[in-house]
Structure 1
Amino acid sequence: MDASFDDDGIPIQTGEVVPSTGEVADEHTFKILVATDNHLGYCDNNPARESDSFDTFEEILKLAVDNDVDFVLLGGDLFHENKPRPNVLRKTTELLQKYCLGSKPVSFQYVGNPERDFPNADEPEVNYYNPNINIALPVFTIHGNHDDPIGHTKTSAVDHLAAAKLVNHFGQWDNLNNIEVSPVLLTKGETKLALYGLGHLKDDRLNRLMHDKKITFIGPEEDRKAWFNLFVLHQNRVKHGPKNYIPENYVPGYMDLVVWGHEHECRIHQELAEGLVNTYICQPGSSVATSLCHGEAVEKHVALLKINRRMFRIEKLKLQTVRPFVMRDITAKEILERCPKNAGPKERSRHMEKYMENLVTSLIQDADDLLTGHPKQPTIPLVRVRVFHDDVEDTFNPIRFSQKFVDKVANDDIIMFKKTPVKREDGAEIDAHEIGVLMMQHDEDDLEGHVETIVENYFTQARNKGETNSLLEVLSERGLSEAVKSAVDKEDYQAISVVVESQIEKVIEYLIKKNVTEDSVEDELEEFRQRRNNMSDQEKKEVDEMLSQRKPKKTKPSNGGSDGEESFENGNNEDGDSPIEVLDDEDDAPSTSRSRGARGASRARGATRGRGRGRGKNAASDDTSPPAPSSRGRGRASASGSRSKNAKETSSRGKSLVQTTLTARRSPRKASQAMVFDDSD
């Protein structure tokens, strides 16, 4: 595309010659407000921050009305949770009704196929064509990883709003092997807009599908060059692993502009896609900070996109209601330079704490410069200081420290201590800025949605170090990691038990087929494990399909528990099995465990979660779960409480072998004890 500039110096990108004046005719110009990652409901259990996401989302809708846009385009993660609380749904519905309903006529036409574009609706249609509801401001949105479809019906929280005719949910898919992406076709005067959308998929899966050319983009039937091609997706843009991202050059080269959701750093102005000639990327970023990292500290904007025939222009609109956020990286070495060389650990720690107190006070003052004067902007800032140290003695209690700023800082985790990375290969010192950049690649506060990598790395490292007590014998690392990810990211607390039961059944079927004996069971198990590891990609695909297509069981909250936790009734769960017995590490006294996922659910709800990110130790407990990556050791549980259907149908000799298979044979305790997650702090 050739580049030209309007009277304000704003670049105009075009696929054809731009008139020298840069003027466009309103009757042919689409005006679109573009935003992504609104995360409505984030921190809804924190009275001080529960309104942040809603206040900014209301500002976005008001900007759309004030700028008289044709429609709002959202790039996924409208909601922060897969199953938003009723209060979150109510607030969202009220805001959409307030700003999207009205008598103003919609000035553009929909000329697509509603059954193809909105397949999840009982009566597919674009909402502003419905005669029973007056839509003045249409909203088009895809789903993200936080509000992605679940269950065999593949229903997203966004579909609740679509059913109420408040939004148009497009970019849905139903076949994970071959995906067809067809555009929503819109016209305004002589401008033809082909709006492509692809709701979130797991990055490695989408990476593989794109690489294998199993994603088909279906263009308009008429000349594709007559249409402005706009593509919206919600994936990793930053490389987090060999396949845990989407390379920019995987996007079809005929796309004129890509709206890239999921990445929270605001990079609003168009950037030429790497490896492509005529494709530009707009990354609006999030409208609310969900993790305390450098990317979230960048000023937040939304885009006012104007499209006229084959030209487009992006104007950035700064958001005025965002809570101020300041962040600083520093090394302990810098802080201790003025501390006496012969000072003891306590004196050094006091010096560190005093220095940090002055630094945080200074950062709070810096945050005042970020205040816009908007009446709904919070005035108490978010503050994060990352301290990189070489010696743990050069630290102090960060929780106690944060108590000094209870009424001055909105978050209670101001200080984060990090072990200083090794020096560069040339042996040169690394300053705080370089350390911060290096840690961006591995910091749990900056990574997105890779709890599965944490789990896999835990077992891989244990195998490499020969730590036999930390290895899996029956379950697979890939299957377990995907189940933990689903439990943490989507709060699907049945995922672990579903995957565990499925894998146990496969092991049992294999052992019975092999007609193993007590002497050969371990060798056969090892052979089966190696075969399964060699087919890890195929297994991951099977786990993905099993979790996405299954129908979740109905759950009931236990007494005093939070929504979504399962509870036992009359001593049994829904399958009729008895609660498992957990043996305490101290006295081996059996005690009844909570139902599947209940403990993990209550802990996960209390944790502050970033963008699809989680902690392995928050994974749901299960009666047959393997050890999780935890620094607090492992508990033990009896395996007798849960038996698969296949095991019950075997002979008594087969049952004995299965029981032997499922035991933690390396434990010095009873041979019938299997490993479970430890929920201790």
Structure 2
Amino acid sequence: MDQIDRSIEPGEDTIRILLTTDNHVGYKENDPIRTDDSWKTFNEIVVTAKEQDVDMIVHGGDLFDVNKPSKKSMYRVMESLRSHCLGDRPCELELLSDFNSLSGDLFPVNYEDPNINVSIPVFAISGNHDDATGSSLLSPMDVLAVSGLVNNFGKVTSASEINVAPILLQKGTTKFALYGMSHVKDERLFRLFREGNVKFLRPNMYTEEWFNLLCVHQNHHPYTSQKSYLPESVLPDFIDFIYWGHEHECLPEPQLNPIKNFHTLLPGSSIVTSLIDGESNPKHVFILNVKGKKFNLEAIPLKTARPFLIEAISLAEEGFDPSPVLTNDVTNFLCHKVEELIEKALEKYVQTNTNSSMDTEEAEQFKKDAPLPLIRLKVDVTGGFQVENLQRLSRRFVGKVANVDDIFTIHQKNTSARVKNTDGPKADITFNKSSTLTINSLISNFVEESTLHLLPGQGINNAVKEFIDKDDKNAINEYIKKEIKRETKIL
């Protein structure tokens, strides 16, 4: 049965839900150009929720870029939520389940709190960037929850089992079951599913009448191994719609899983955090309209998202000769390509943010006032090409692009390199000359070469990653104390 019904309109039986994820508020906040990008886009999203008269907001994790956000980041988020989600407009959602037992909080769902006037309730899970840490296992979402601005749900408190229970809501005749699961390390989650220790609970009344939405924040593809992602095949087939956070590429059309018969939406992040191909897709926020067991989806382009274009070129394919004498010709060509990308990015921004009623002069002025774009040019120098110092070359675009220090990436194919593929036959792998070792690989190599009897290598790796990626200064100390305590018990 096709659940998509494009004729659904707002009404007393329609639940309108704004879907957003991976805002990464605080990203690049110390950058003089991109300092305000993340919170401005988040504010646009919350304003959109108010303008579109939605019933609720569901957030898929990574609201903040780090789990200890700066005072500026926390202030901006609280300011936006307070300005646009609080008010006298009545919330028409009826809560049919015990929110306190589901969330573990002492406070009720915020729109039923007699001390707060909430017009648009926000339901949010934690991602891998803003997860709970420290001895109290508190996350930034807990701070927002205790302030009454969001409803933090989907917490995973046990390492050995996960029970996912729904928040049951109703508007008119539409029954809505909201399931959520905060980020769990992919390998651990894979093991829990394999061992049958993840259970999804269903309401025991009107069981088949609920529209079931599941919100997760995990890898959707096996990037590093077959255990490093959440396969759709392990999820229950009674789910109707999966809202999938963590993946930053925006894919605005929900995809039907023909075996499980549910739809999956990968909405992507609201700002660019990596200069890669996937992040060059236009950024959107979504409104899900649910009526009975039917739904439709509206994709709304984000106007404050900084324009970003990426292109890959090969100097050999462009017809250049690798002679050092022609280095200046290569430099001039690269600069010309960047200028072209800047122009295209600005045109793309104007098209997204203007309408047909604007005349040429207004459009040109709008273009002049547009934010500096993000530009990435990937240059293949295979064949012995020499290029000018990239840092010096990039300085030519000061005042023209937002990412002056990393416009260019240079790589060279090594066709002779072969590695063994453990999952199948041998395969040719192309390496980049400019590839850099990650912290994870450095620690892994060190652990492999060391003889550690008490501290597991993977645990050390994870603790160092927490220390560096999330600025958790106590991560290593807490991990070592925990392991010493565990080993002491064994002895």
Give TM-score, length-normalised by structure 1.
Answer: 0.64
In structure 2, which of residues 190, 204, 222 is the aligned counterpart of residue 207 of structure 1?
Answer: 190
Q: Is the 8 A contact 1:302 1:318 kept in 2?
A: yes
Give the secondary structure class of the aligned counterpart of 2:158: coil
The change in CA–CA distance for 1:181 and 1:367 in structure 2 (over 3 A counts) is: same
Tell me if 1:87 matches 2:72.
yes
Shift of 1:268: 2.2
Q: Is the 8 A contact 1:395 1:417 kept in 2?
A: no
In structure 2, which of residues 424, 438, 457 is the aligned counterpart of residue 477 of structure 1?
Answer: 457
The change in CA–CA distance for 1:369 and 1:452 in structure 2 (over 3 A counts) is: same
How big is each residue's C-alpha offset from its partner over 1:83-132, in whole Å with a ceiling of 9 and x where there is no partner? Answer: 0011111111111111011110001111111222221x2x2310011111
The change in CA–CA distance for 1:203 and 1:439 in structure 2 (over 3 A counts) is: farther
Match of 1:644 in 2: none
In structure 1, which of residues 322, 342, 367 is the aligned counterpart of residue 345 of structure 2?
Answer: 367
1:115 partner letter? N
Match of 2:244 in 1: 260
How big is each residue's C-alpha offset from its partner over 1:252-271, in whole Å with a ceiling of 9 and x where there is no partner? Answer: 11100000000000112210
Match of 2:395 in 1: 403
Q: Is the 8 A contact 2:39 2:73 kept in 1?
A: no
Q: Is the 8 A contact 2:214 2:242 kept in 1?
A: yes
Give the number of the structure with larger relative contact order, counting CA–CA contacts within 8 Å between residues 6 or more apart: 2
Q: For 1:503 and 1:154, how far apart are their aligned partners in 2?
A: 18
Q: For 2:220 and 2:252, how far apart are their aligned partners in 1?
A: 14
In structure 2, which of residues 63, 69, 84 is the aligned counterpart of residue 78 of structure 1?
Answer: 63
How big is each residue's C-alpha offset from its partner over 1:575-595, in whole Å with a ceiling of 9 and x where there is no partner? Answer: xxxxxxxxxxxxxxxxxxxxx
Q: For 2:211 and 2:88, how far apart are their aligned partners in 1?
A: 29
Q: Is the 8 A contact 1:322 1:378 kept in 2?
A: no
Q: Is the 8 A contact 2:23 2:269 kept in 1?
A: yes
Q: Is the 8 A contact 1:327 1:384 kept in 2?
A: yes
The change in CA–CA distance for 1:356 and 1:67 in structure 2 (over 3 A counts) is: same
The change in CA–CA distance for 1:264 and 1:4 in structure 2 (over 3 A counts) is: closer
Shift of 1:175: 0.6
1:419 partner letter? Q
Identity %: 36
Give the secondary structure class of the aligned counterpart of 2:296: strand
Q: Is the 8 A contact 1:127 1:167 kept in 2?
A: yes
Shift of 1:390: 3.1
Shift of 1:63: 1.1
Match of 2:476 in 1: 496
Tell me if 1:452 matches 2:440.
yes
Q: For 2:247 and 2:203, how far apart are their aligned partners in 1?
A: 29
Give the secondary structure class of the aligned counterpart of 2:252: strand
Mapping 1:471-550, distance limit 5 Å: 471-474=449-452, 476-499=456-479
1:190 partner letter? T
Match of 1:66 in 2: 51
Shift of 1:185: 0.7
Shift of 1:31: 0.3
Mapping 1:26-105, distance limit 5 Å: 26-105=11-90
Mapping 1:530-679, distance limit 5 Å: none
Q: For 2:275 and 2:300, how far apart are their aligned partners in 1?
A: 23
In structure 2, which of residues 307, 322, 328 is the aligned counterpart of residue 350 of structure 1?
Answer: 328
Q: Is the 8 A contact 1:459 1:477 kept in 2?
A: no
The change in CA–CA distance for 1:24 and 1:351 in structure 2 (over 3 A counts) is: closer
In structure 2, which of residues 365, 374, 381 is the aligned counterpart of residue 382 of structure 1?
Answer: 374
Match of 1:226 in 2: 209
How big is each residue's C-alpha offset from its partner over 1:307-328, in whole Å with a ceiling of 9 and x where there is no partner? Answer: 0010011111111111000001
Match of 1:338 in 2: 320
Shift of 1:472: 1.0
Q: Which has the larger radius of gyration?
A: 1
How big is each residue's C-alpha offset from its partner over 1:450-475, in whole Å with a ceiling of 9 and x where there is no partner? Answer: 8535632x358xx6xxxxxxx21236
Q: Is the 8 A contact 2:394 2:408 kept in 1?
A: yes
Q: For 2:316 and 2:414, how far apart are their aligned partners in 1?
A: 13
Match of 1:525 in 2: none
The change in CA–CA distance for 1:508 and 1:93 in structure 2 (over 3 A counts) is: closer
How big is each residue's C-alpha offset from its partner over 1:156-197, in whole Å with a ceiling of 9 and x where there is no partner? Answer: 101111111011110012111011110011000111100000
In structure 2, which of residues 77, 99, 107 is the aligned counterpart of residue 114 of structure 1?
Answer: 99
How big is each residue's C-alpha offset from its partner over 1:589-626, in whole Å with a ceiling of 9 and x where there is no partner? Answer: xxxxxxxxxxxxxxxxxxxxxxxxxxxxxxxxxxxxxx
The change in CA–CA distance for 1:505 and 1:36 in structure 2 (over 3 A counts) is: closer
Give the secondary structure class of the aligned counterpart of 1:228: strand
Mapping 1:268-307, distance limit 5 Å: 268-273=252-257, 276-307=259-290
2:92 partner letter? S
Q: For 1:64 and 1:403, how far apart are their aligned partners in 2?
A: 40
The change in CA–CA distance for 1:506 and 1:160 in structure 2 (over 3 A counts) is: closer
Q: Is the 8 A contact 1:324 1:382 kept in 2?
A: yes
The change in CA–CA distance for 1:319 and 1:421 in structure 2 (over 3 A counts) is: farther
How big is each residue's C-alpha offset from its partner over 1:615-671, in whole Å with a ceiling of 9 and x where there is no partner? Answer: xxxxxxxxxxxxxxxxxxxxxxxxxxxxxxxxxxxxxxxxxxxxxxxxxxxxxxxxx
Give the secondary structure class of the aligned counterpart of 1:387: strand
Shift of 1:506: 8.6
| Number of residue pairs matched by the alignment | 463
Q: For 1:114 and 1:444, how far apart are their aligned partners in 2?
A: 46
Mapping 1:301-340, distance limit 5 Å: 301-335=284-318, 337-339=319-321
Match of 1:243 in 2: 227
2:52 partner letter? N
1:2 partner letter? D
How big is each residue's C-alpha offset from its partner over 1:324-344, in whole Å with a ceiling of 9 and x where there is no partner? Answer: 000011223234x233x6x23
In structure 2, which of residues 168, 190, 196 is the aligned counterpart of residue 185 of structure 1?
Answer: 168
Match of 2:359 in 1: none
Give the secondary structure class of the aligned counterpart of 1:26: coil
Shift of 1:212: 1.6
Q: Is the 8 A contact 2:8 2:289 kept in 1?
A: no
Shift of 1:366: 0.8
The change in CA–CA distance for 1:278 and 1:415 in structure 2 (over 3 A counts) is: same
Tell me if 1:422 matches 2:415.
yes
Q: For 2:235 and 2:431, how far apart are their aligned partners in 1?
A: 29
Q: Give the alignment's Cα RMSD to 1 decimal.
A: 2.9
Q: For 1:439 and 1:99, how far apart are their aligned partners in 2?
A: 48
Q: For 1:108 and 1:504, how far apart are their aligned partners in 2?
A: 49
Gaps of 5+ in 1: 7-21, 426-434, 464-470, 514-681
Give the secondary structure class of the aligned counterpart of 1:295: helix
Q: Is the 8 A contact 2:193 2:234 kept in 1?
A: yes
The change in CA–CA distance for 1:185 and 1:504 in structure 2 (over 3 A counts) is: closer
Give the secondary structure class of the aligned counterpart of 1:334: coil
How big is each residue's C-alpha offset from its partner over 1:424-463, in whole Å with a ceiling of 9 and x where there is no partner? Answer: 99xxxxxxxxx9x9889x9779xxxx8535632x358xx6
Q: For 1:395 and 1:209, how far apart are their aligned partners in 2?
A: 50
Q: Is the 8 A contact 1:118 1:125 kept in 2?
A: no
Q: Is the 8 A contact 1:332 1:388 kept in 2?
A: yes
